[in-house]
């Protein structure tokens, strides 16, 4: 079985959406009182962090200059 690399960008985005979902469920049950307007900047910042994580951890091309990602 081939060894797979961890996709940190997808993991970060998944955790972000999971956290926002939990926050909305808690809000819906009346357990917390907050303004949902904060969701947009948090979502934008979180997806930006996920994009940076993905860009920093993606596989690079070969060093022979061909640019292939095999």
What pLDDT is recorded for position 52? Answer: 86
Q: How high is the mean pLDDT of the chain?
A: 76
Long-range Cβ contact pairs of 62-67 (< 8 A, separation 24 or more): none
Distance from chain centroid for Cα 65: 30
Is the model's pTM score more than 0.85? no
The Cα 12–Cα 18 span in angstroms is 10
Torsion of CA 39, 40, 43, 49, to 10 degrees: -130
Q: What's the pLDDT band for 69 if we cut at 50, 70, 90?
A: low
């Amino acid at each position: 079985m081939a060894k797979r690399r961890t996709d940190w960008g997808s993991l970060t985005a998944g955790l972000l959406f999971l956290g926002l979902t939990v926050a909305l469920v808690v809000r819906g049950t009346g357990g917390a009182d907050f303004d949902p307007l904060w969701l947009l900047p948090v979502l934008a910042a979180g997806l930006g962090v996920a994009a940076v994580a993905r860009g920093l951890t993606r596989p690079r091309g070969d060093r022979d200059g061909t640019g292939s990602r095999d």
